[in-house]
Structure 1
Amino acid sequence: MESGAVVIPPYVGRPLRLAPFRALRLQPRRVGDPASARLFARPYRSVADRLAQWESRGHLHRDDQPAVYLHEYTAGGLTVRGLVGALDISHRASGPADRAVLPHEGIHPVQADELADRMTALCLNPAPILLVHRAPPDLRVLVEEVVAGVPLDDFVDRSDQRHRLWAVREPDRVERIDAALASSQALIADGHHRYAAYLRMQRRSPGPATDQGLAMLVDQEDTPLFLGPIHRVLLGTTLDDLGTAAEAVGAGFDLVDRAAAVQALGPSTLAVGDGRRWASIKLQLPPGRAAVEALHEEIVPSLARGPQKVEYHHSVEATLARLRRDAVAVLMPAPDVDLVHAIAAADRLLPEKATSFQPKPSVGVLIRSLRDE
């Protein structure tokens, strides 16, 4: 992603607030079904009719009363729990100390426009964006109280995710959530473009429906999302070129075997190879700087040629499978959540696909209709 091709979305101001909303919920056997995901595909104008049809057939439930929901899902042995509500995006931050939501990646304006057009045509927020924070003690106590109660729903979906859902409707509990979140600051884990689309919709037509956007707020201290690396394949360059570029910016470059390169992988060390030879790149990182920043802002610009293209892969196996002539694999260390937060708080953007927060919930558990506002 070229730096000139992205922008930082505007900052939403405090207080951080998740308002109650009337959820649409797909019938459990339709959650996690690829056919359900296609419900939100083009043509958008027919989605309202399809949803009405599904509701009449019992495939879609519309809650009678608004609520802030507690959604717990388990996938691949990891359990994540978060509050889901209508995120207040109606006011902008007055300064750095007033920011409620921190993006850490830039967005492509055209893509944000397309998503805003799509959600406007759908009259829906089809799925919540994912936010992470360190919850204050009062909020953790409240969550424990809610979890001790009987769930609104408890099921395993078509993709083998288990979901438990509670509705928080009691006025005193909603007020406690508001009070606990007022001074909080959340980091966007997934959904940068949807977040930017929310803001575009709000600017185009301010009002009750667009002054909010669906969000799930996860306590990274309680049930953390796993933050994994996203590896790279640099096409159109060579291992020798990469070594020369690394040394030009003061990084160490040592040819080793593959096992040694992978074993040395760490917060300031990259493992690189072309399928025949391997090396470790030891970065000289100052405090508060991530390895992915040094790669894309220092080493890549110093290459004698290329890359013609950068590919991104979530596993080492998939990365190595894409190696070919004039291509180099760059195995990345997993970033640290607190470091990502600090970078975002310092108004820096991480390069494209720098983070991979997992697991994400299946689509269809909680949907927000803009028609209900």
Structure 2
Amino acid sequence: MTSPPYDLISDADVEVLLDSHPNNVVRLILPCSSRSNSSPGTPADDDHSSSPAATPGTHPGPPLQPPAQDAARPQPPVTRTRTTSPTAETPLEPRYAVARDTLRNWLDAGILVPDDVPALYVYEQSGPDVLQRGLIGDVGLADPAQRIILPHEDVFPGPIADRLALMSTTQANLEPIFLLYDGGNGTATRLVNEVAAERRPLVSAHTEDGLTHRLWAITAPDEIAAINADLHHRQALIADGHHRYATYRVLQRQERATRHLPTTAGDTHAAQPPTGDAHVGQPPIGDTHAGHPLATGDSAAPPSAPGETDVSQHARAGTAAPAYDEAALGPWDFGLALLVDSRAYPPDLKAIHRVIEGLPLDEAVSRAKSSWQVHDYKDLAAGLAALEGAPEPAFLLAGEDGSHLLTDPDPVQLARAMPPDQSDHWNSLNTSVLAEFVLPVVWGMRDNDQTVHIVHHDTDAAVSMAVRTGGTAVILKPLVVDDVLAIAAGGERVPRKSTSFGPKPRTGLVLRTFATD
């Protein structure tokens, strides 16, 4: 029933996810296949329309329960952001209506059922050498000038338009963004760990990437209050979900403008999607407000009513309410998020590689020799080992004919290429050097989706794509977390597709609809 985040799902993976379960969340987040029009889970398709109301922690029973091993594929290495229907079978507007109707049908059929009491959700991801715990709840959307939640990447209009159409049509947040904060192992983190260690989970699911996902609900008002008191003064970094967060802000502005409600002082460009104003809260992180997200779950716990999936209330935690009159607040003034204490659970920051199909490897190496020291290696393993020990900036070019390490760029050429209005720290990032010097100056090309393909984490996948297309794979080392934090704290944004924080929250465990909020 779950899936990776929407922007990490390939066309082929959509089909796999559709086959994995009739109520897989991909039908909501990417309603892009004609097969989605059948809207499995409607009363006409199953016999759950008369399911009784759920009690807290109710989850799918035998008729809808997926196998113990979630059939969804792991996050694929090659990704892109979709702004059009990947199959070209369903025009854009109808596919958003398909998602809306599917969501309504699942609610009407009892596949999604509200919990009885507000809650925050403890979410744990575990596996070989992986343990991450955090809280899922709402974040308030307030004046960007507050600098409560910091973005570190720029956003682009196309993905925002796509997610805005989906959110506004479904009136829902279908997957959480991913936030990191320095909690110093405070009260919130201690409660998260206590809940995970001592209480029975609502959900336990295994995915093909080897991770186990577990979910608990915190419903006690005193515990929720303690969490908010701890989070109230903290600042957070967007680890994943910049476009979704920007979409939260655009949707908020649109909804408040429609209702002639005031906007914040920072919202002076309401007609334009924000390009980096991903800041929330006023005051900082804290203050709960009752809400009603949807918790769906591949549950190992016994269900109280067969065939149900939980639509659970939650307390809004993680950031404070926006700087508006409480009486005028609406569900669009908040957005769904996972908050993780990075002190307790340091993030796994992986590299994102590039593949340039139109640039043969020998030509890429030849052009680079005028401005870089080039070291040739017969095999990929030797090149990767050399890259690991090379000082930044350094890149490994690989493809059909071995691998070639670029080091020690010509300082005069490099300085001339790097933007003077960016900080020295920003100009030293390997992704900055790639975007501002290597691609446009050395190779004479633009850094965009048409020219440069993105490959998450997997060097073998990047090199295989380069060999298959006769192009060049550019292998990078991951950025350092402290560098990303410093860039964000200074008000700058790293170049596009510079970071891949993980593990990312699984989509479909907790959702949120405005109608029940």
Provide TM-score, normalisation by structure 1. 0.80
- Checking the alignment, whether the CA contact within 8 Å between 2:96 and 2:169 is kept in structure 1 is no
Distance change (3 Å), C-alpha of 1:327 and 1:148: closer
| Equivalenced residues, count | 340
Question: 1:205 aligns to what SS in structure 2?
Answer: helix
Instruction: Report the Cα offset of residue 125 of structure 1.
Output: 0.9
Distance change (3 Å), C-alpha of 1:26 and 1:350: farther
1:303 aligns with 2:303: no
Partner deviation per Cα, 1:131-184 (whole Å, 9 max, x = no partner): 112213323333333334313414224656433222222233222222222222
Distance change (3 Å), C-alpha of 1:332 and 1:42: farther
- Give the gaps of 5 or more residues in structure 1: 1-21
| Counterpart among 176, 195, 202 of residue 146 in structure 1 | 195
Distance change (3 Å), C-alpha of 1:77 and 1:25: farther
Instruction: Report the Cα offset of residue 244 of structure 1.
Output: 6.0
Instruction: Give the corresponding residue for 2:330.
Output: 208
CA distance in 2, matches of 1:23, 1:364: 17
Instruction: Give the corresponding residue for 1:347.
Output: 491
| Counterpart among 133, 136, 152 of residue 81 in structure 1 | 133
- Checking the alignment, whether the CA contact within 8 Å between 1:107 and 1:193 is kept in structure 2 is yes
Distance change (3 Å), C-alpha of 1:311 and 1:189: same
Instruction: Report the Cα offset of residue 348 of structure 1.
Output: 2.5
| Counterpart among 60, 65, 79 of residue 27 in structure 1 | 60
Partner deviation per Cα, 1:320-347 (whole Å, 9 max, x = no partner): 1112475211111022222112122223
CA distance in 2, matches of 1:118, 1:330: 34
Matches within 5 A, 1:66-105: 66-75=118-127, 78-89=130-141, 91-94=142-145, 98-105=146-153
Partner deviation per Cα, 1:268-300 (whole Å, 9 max, x = no partner): 122112321422112569656321111111111
Instruction: Report the Cα offset of residue 232 of structure 1.
Output: 1.1
Instruction: Give the corresponding residue for 1:280.
Output: 405
- Checking the alignment, whether the CA contact within 8 Å between 1:233 and 1:322 is kept in structure 2 is yes
More displaced, 134-143 or 193-202? Answer: 134-143
- Checking the alignment, whether the CA contact within 8 Å between 1:270 and 1:331 is kept in structure 2 is yes
Matches within 5 A, 1:1-373: 27=60, 29-30=65-66, 32=70, 43-55=98-110, 59-75=111-127, 78-89=130-141, 91-94=142-145, 98-138=146-186, 139-157=188-206, 159=208, 161-206=211-256, 207-239=329-361, 241-243=363-365, 246=368, 251-258=372-379, 259-266=381-388, 268=392, 269-283=394-408, 287=425, 289-306=428-445, 309-314=451-456, 315-324=458-467, 327-373=471-517
More displaced, 263-272 or 22-31? Answer: 22-31
CA distance in 1, matches of 2:370, 2:235: 39
CA distance in 1, matches of 2:244, 2:406: 35
Instruction: Report the Cα offset of residue 42 of structure 1.
Output: 5.3
Instruction: Give the corresponding residue for 2:288.
Output: none
Provide TM-score, normalisation by structure 2. 0.59
CA distance in 1, matches of 2:108, 2:482: 45
- Checking the alignment, whether the CA contact within 8 Å between 2:97 and 2:170 is kept in structure 1 is no
CA distance in 2, matches of 1:218, 1:182: 15
- Checking the alignment, whether the CA contact within 8 Å between 2:124 and 2:134 is kept in structure 1 is yes
More displaced, 260-269 or 156-165? Answer: 156-165
CA distance in 1, matches of 2:334, 2:116: 19
Distance change (3 Å), C-alpha of 1:24 and 1:146: closer
User: Rg: which structure is higher?
Assistant: 2
- Checking the alignment, whether the CA contact within 8 Å between 1:25 and 1:62 is kept in structure 2 is no
Instruction: Report the Cα offset of residue 358 of structure 1.
Output: 2.5
Instruction: Report the Cα offset of residue 243 of structure 1.
Output: 4.4
Instruction: Report the Cα offset of residue 235 of structure 1.
Output: 2.6
CA distance in 2, matches of 1:304, 1:73: 41
- Checking the alignment, whether the CA contact within 8 Å between 1:24 and 1:60 is kept in structure 2 is no
RMSD of aligned residue pairs (Cα, Å): 3.0
Amino acid of the residue matched to residue 203 of structure 1?
A: R
CA distance in 1, matches of 2:103, 2:351: 38
